[in-house]
Chains A and B, each alone.
Chain A
Amino acid sequence: MMKLLTATTAITLAGTGLALAGTIDDIKARGHIQCGVTQGVPGFSNPNDAGDWTGFDVDICRAVAAAVLSDADAVRYTPLSNTERFTALQSGEVDILSRTTTRTLNRDTALGLNFAPVVFYDGQGFMVRESSGITSALELDGTTVCVSAGSTSELNVADYFTANNMTYEPVRFEKADEVLAAYDAGRCDVYTSDLSGLAARRLVMQNPAEHLMLKETISKEPLAPAVRHGDDAWFDIVTWTVYALIAAEELGVTAANIDQMKAEGSPDVQRLLGSSETGTGEWVGLDNDWATRAIAAGGNYGELWARHLGPDTPLKLARGLNELYNNGGIQYAMPIK
Chain B
Amino acid sequence: MTAPFLPPRQIFWTRRRVKSLLVQVVFLGGLAWLAYFLFANTTANLQRQGIASGFGFLSQRAGFDVSLSFLPFTSDSSYGRAFWVAVVNALVLSALGIVLATILGFGLGLARVSKNWLIARLATVYIEIFRNIPLLLQLFFWYFAILRQLPGPKESVVLADLVFLNNRGLYMPRPQVDQGGWVIMVCFVAGLCMALVMTLRARQQRLKTGHGPKSWYWWPIGLVALPLTAFMITGASLSFVIPELRGFNYRGGMLMLPEMLAALLGLGFYIAAAIGEIVRSGIQGVDKGQVEAASALGLARRDIMRLVVLPQAMRIIIPPLATQYLSLAKNTSLAAAIAFPEIISIVAGTTLTQTGQALEAITLAMLFYMGVSLSIAAVMNFLNYRVLRHGN
Contacts from A to B (Cβ < 8 Å): 1, 4-5, 7-8, 11-16, 18, 20, 82-83, 85-87, 90, 106-107, 109-112, 132, 141-144, 149-151, 154-155, 157-159, 162, 168-175, 178, 181-182, 185-187, 189, 228-230
Q: Evaluate contact between A112 and B356: CB separation under 8 angstroms.
A: yes
- Within 8 Å CB of B356, what residues of A? 86, 90, 106-107, 110-112
Q: Evaluate contact between A170 and B67: CB separation under 8 angstroms.
A: yes
Q: Evaluate contact between A178 and B348: CB separation under 8 angstroms.
A: no
Minimum CB–CB distance from A115 to chain B (whole Å) comes to 14
Q: Evaluate contact between B46 and A154: CB separation under 8 angstroms.
A: no
- Within 8 Å CB of A109, what residues of B? 50
Complex: A187 Cα to B75 Cα, angstroms = 22
Q: Provided the pairs A169-B67, A186-B167 are in contact, do residues A83 and B349 lie with their beta carbons within 8 angstroms?
A: yes
Q: Evaluate contact between A155 and B63: CB separation under 8 angstroms.
A: yes
Considering only residues 122-172 of chain B, those with a C-beta below 8 Å from chain A are 143-144, 147-148, 152, 167-168
Residue of A nearest to B334 (CB): A1
Residue of B nearest to A146 (CB): B339
Minimum CB–CB distance from A133 to chain B (whole Å) comes to 10
Q: Evaluate contact between A159 and B49: CB separation under 8 angstroms.
A: no
Complex: A185 Cα to B168 Cα, angstroms = 11
Complex: A147 Cα to B254 Cα, angstroms = 23
Residue of B nearest to A178 (CB): B337
Q: Is B234 an interface residue (CB 8 A)?
A: no
Residue of B nearest to A154 (CB): B64
Minimum CB–CB distance from A192 to chain B (whole Å) comes to 12
- Within 8 Å CB of A132, what residues of B? 248
- Within 8 Å CB of B52, what residues of A? 110-112
Q: Evaluate contact between A155 and B51: CB separation under 8 angstroms.
A: no
Residue of B nearest to A150 (CB): B353
Please give 5 more A-B residue pairs, beta carbons under 8 A apart, in addition to A149-B345, A186-B167, A187-B168.
A18-B45, A86-B358, A172-B339, A172-B341, A182-B147
Residue of B nearest to A88 (CB): B358
Complex: A50 Cα to B298 Cα, angstroms = 73
Complex: A4 Cα to B366 Cα, angstroms = 13
Q: Is B222 an interface residue (CB 8 A)?
A: no
Q: Evaluate contact between A16 and B248: CB separation under 8 angstroms.
A: no
- Within 8 Å CB of A13, what residues of B? 38, 41
Interface CB pairs A-B, < 8 A, 21: A1-B333, A4-B362, A5-B362, A11-B358, A12-B41, A13-B41, A14-B45, A16-B48, A82-B353, A111-B51, A112-B51, A132-B248, A142-B248, A142-B249, A149-B345, A155-B63, A158-B63, A172-B64, A172-B66, A172-B339, A186-B152
Q: Evaluate contact between B249 and A185: CB separation under 8 angstroms.
A: no
Q: A1, A82, A162: which contacts B348 (Cβ < 8 A)?
A: A1
Q: A20, A83, A170: which contacts B353 (Cβ < 8 A)?
A: A83
Residue of B nearest to A184 (CB): B147
Residue of B nearest to A109 (CB): B50
Minimum CB–CB distance from A282 to chain B (whole Å) comes to 28
Q: A150, A151, A185: which contacts B352 (Cβ < 8 A)?
A: A150
Minimum CB–CB distance from A229 to chain B (whole Å) comes to 4
Q: Evaluate contact between B248 and A149: CB separation under 8 angstroms.
A: no
Complex: A149 Cα to B361 Cα, angstroms = 15
Complex: A18 Cα to B43 Cα, angstroms = 12
- Within 8 Å CB of A85, what residues of B? 353
Interface size on B, residues (CB 8 A): 50
Complex: A112 Cα to B45 Cα, angstroms = 11
Minimum CB–CB distance from B76 to chain A (whole Å) comes to 8
Q: Mark B346-372, 1 if CB is under 8 A from A, else 0.
A: 001110111110110010000000000
Q: Number of A-B pairs whose CB atoms are under 8 Å?
A: 164
Q: Evaluate contact between A172 and B38: CB separation under 8 angstroms.
A: no
Q: Provided the pairs A18-B45, A169-B67 are in contact, do residues A162 and B248 lie with their beta carbons within 8 angstroms?
A: no
Complex: A241 Cα to B350 Cα, angstroms = 32
Q: Is B4 an interface residue (CB 8 A)?
A: no
Q: Evaluate contact between A149 and B353: CB separation under 8 angstroms.
A: yes
- Across the A-B interface, give the 7 residue pairs with the lowest CB-CB distance, nearest first: A150-B353, A111-B356, A112-B51, A158-B75, A185-B147, A110-B52, A142-B247
Q: Is B42 an interface residue (CB 8 A)?
A: yes
Most buried by A among B249, B259, B356: B356
Q: Evaluate contact between A149 and B350: CB separation under 8 angstroms.
A: yes
- Within 8 Å CB of B349, what residues of A? 83, 149-150, 172, 174
Minimum CB–CB distance from B38 to chain A (whole Å) comes to 5
Q: Is B336 an interface residue (CB 8 A)?
A: yes
Minimum CB–CB distance from A284 to chain B (whole Å) comes to 22
Complex: A186 Cα to B150 Cα, angstroms = 9
Complex: A20 Cα to B46 Cα, angstroms = 11
Complex: A7 Cα to B168 Cα, angstroms = 36
Q: Evaluate contact between A8 and B358: CB separation under 8 angstroms.
A: yes
Q: Is B263 an interface residue (CB 8 A)?
A: no
Q: Is B65 an interface residue (CB 8 A)?
A: yes
Q: A16, A158, A168, A178: which contacts B339 (Cβ < 8 A)?
A: A178
Q: Is B258 an interface residue (CB 8 A)?
A: yes
Complex: A32 Cα to B66 Cα, angstroms = 41
Q: Is B246 an interface residue (CB 8 A)?
A: yes
Complex: A154 Cα to B339 Cα, angstroms = 13
Q: Is B317 an interface residue (CB 8 A)?
A: no
- Within 8 Å CB of B42, what residues of A? 11-12
Residue of B nearest to A21 (CB): B48
Complex: A170 Cα to B259 Cα, angstroms = 12
- Within 8 Å CB of A90, what residues of B? 49, 51, 356, 358
Minimum CB–CB distance from A10 to chain B (whole Å) comes to 9
Q: Mark B236-280, 1 if CB is under 8 A from A, else 0.
A: 000000000011110100000011000000000000000000000
Complex: A5 Cα to B358 Cα, angstroms = 9
Residue of A nearest to B40 (CB): A16
Q: Is B226 an interface residue (CB 8 A)?
A: no
Q: Mark B24-66, 1 if CB is under 8 A from A, else 0.
A: 0000000000000010011011101111100000000001111
Q: B50, B251, B345, B348: which contacts A172 (Cβ < 8 A)?
A: B345
- Within 8 Å CB of B49, what residues of A? 18, 20, 90, 112, 228-230
- Within 8 Å CB of B44, what residues of A? 16
Complex: A186 Cα to B63 Cα, angstroms = 26
Q: Evaluate contact between A170 and B64: CB separation under 8 angstroms.
A: yes
Complex: A4 Cα to B358 Cα, angstroms = 8
Q: Evaluate contact between A143 and B64: CB separation under 8 angstroms.
A: no
